[in-house]
């Protein structure tokens, strides 16, 4: 594929149409598909999962525009993902096996993280705050039953509750990260994030 090829409005519309005939539904499916691709690239240790997910969708749109008949979309996208991962394999994180866990977090850091959490949660709507705290309550074994009860209370399927909680968790993590970055110089934060 030529690196100069850019995603046109027509090609993007073609991609949406392949996902669902209704444009609003197609937009939702596109967002979900992109989220799944970002996670896949993240879990495959890619340096920039967001960029790779966009690259994969752009390649898919181009193949559709060229008239490719795709029978199995996930298998086709996985093929694109495989190629992209191969192309950037030399850039991926390469780390020595871990022999020891890192130095413990100081009490000062724990207090700072806790303050960031409270500050983030304070800006949330009460129902969202309660849902997040209830979902992540208890230890691993207690959580399964607690979440089933919570889903029943809210009249949701467990899958729908999980999806909602994950979005809130992502939002919380982004907020806390932003708060902590204000205090830590960007260079040190990058080192910490990448564990180098």
Partner 1 sequence: MNPDLFRQFMLSAANPEQRDQLRERLIADQDLSDQLRDQETDWIDAYAAGTLPPADARALYQHLQQTGQLHRIPTAAALAKRKSQSASVFPYALGLAATLLLVFTAVFHQPRSKAPEPLPQITLALVPGALRDASATQSVTAKNNQPILLQLQYQDTAPQGECHVEIAGQPFGEDAPCGLDFHPYTLPPDLAPGRYTLKLTTPKGELIHTYQLTLKKEVP
Least distance between partner 1 and beta carbon 129 (Å) = 11
Size of the site for partner 1 (CB under 8 A): 63
Q: Which of residues 131-160 bind partner 1 (CB under 8 A)?
A: 133, 136-137, 139-140, 143-144, 158-159
- Cβ proximity to partner 1: between 7 and 29 the closer is 29
Of 156, 148, 100, nearest to 127 by C-alpha is 156
Crossing angle (nearest 10°) for helices 107-122 and 158-183: 120
Give CA separation, 80 vs 20, 169, 182, in Å. 21, 29, 38
- Cβ proximity to partner 1: between 8 and 130 the closer is 130
Among 3, 4, 24, 43, the residue binding partner 1 under the rule CB under 8 A is: 43
- Cβ proximity to partner 1: between 5 and 192 the closer is 192
Least distance between partner 1 and beta carbon 4 (Å) = 27
Least distance between partner 1 and beta carbon 137 (Å) = 7
Of 52, 43, 107, 50, nearest to 83 by C-alpha is 52
Rounded Cα distance between 178 and 74, Å, is 34
Q: Which two tokens stand for residue 170?
A: 């992502």
- Cβ proximity to partner 1: between 5 and 74 the closer is 74
Contact indicator for 162, 151 with CB cutoff of 8 Å: no
- Asked if 19 touches partner 1 (CB under 8 A), the answer is no
Query: How many other CB atoms sit within 10 Å of the CB of residue 55?
Result: 21
- Cβ proximity to partner 1: between 23 and 93 the closer is 93
Rounded Cα distance between 33 and 19, Å, is 10
Among 2, 98, 125, 182, the residue binding partner 1 under the rule CB under 8 A is: 98
- Asked if 102 touches partner 1 (CB under 8 A), the answer is yes
Contact indicator for 76, 33 with CB cutoff of 8 Å: no
Q: Which of residues 167-196 bind partner 1 (CB under 8 A)?
A: 169, 172-173, 176-177, 180, 189, 192-195
């Amino acid at each position: 594929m030529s690196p100069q090829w850019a995603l046109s409005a027509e090609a993007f519309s073609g991609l949406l149409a392949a996902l669902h005939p209704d444009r609003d539904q197609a937009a939702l499916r596109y967002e979900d598909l992109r989220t799944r691709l970002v996670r896949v690239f993240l879990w495959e240790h890619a340096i920039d999962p967001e960029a790779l997910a966009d690259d994969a969708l752009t390649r898919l749109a181009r193949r559709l525009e060229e008239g490719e008949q795709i029978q199995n979309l996930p298998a086709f996208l996985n093929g694109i993902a495989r190629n992209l991962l191969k192309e950037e394999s030399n850039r991926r994180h390469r780390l020595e096996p871990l022999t020891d866990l890192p130095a413990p977090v100081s009490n000062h850091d724990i207090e700072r993280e806790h303050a960031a959490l409270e500050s983030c949660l304070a800006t949330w709507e009460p129902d969202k705050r309660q849902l997040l705290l209830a979902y992540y309550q208890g230890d691993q074994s207690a959580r399964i039953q607690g979440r089933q009860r919570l889903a029943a209370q809210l009249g949701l399927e467990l899958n729908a509750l999980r999806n909602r909680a994950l979005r809130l968790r992502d939002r919380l993590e982004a907020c806390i990260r932003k708060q902590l970055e204000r205090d830590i110089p960007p260079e040190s934060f990058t080192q910490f994030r990448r564990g180098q």
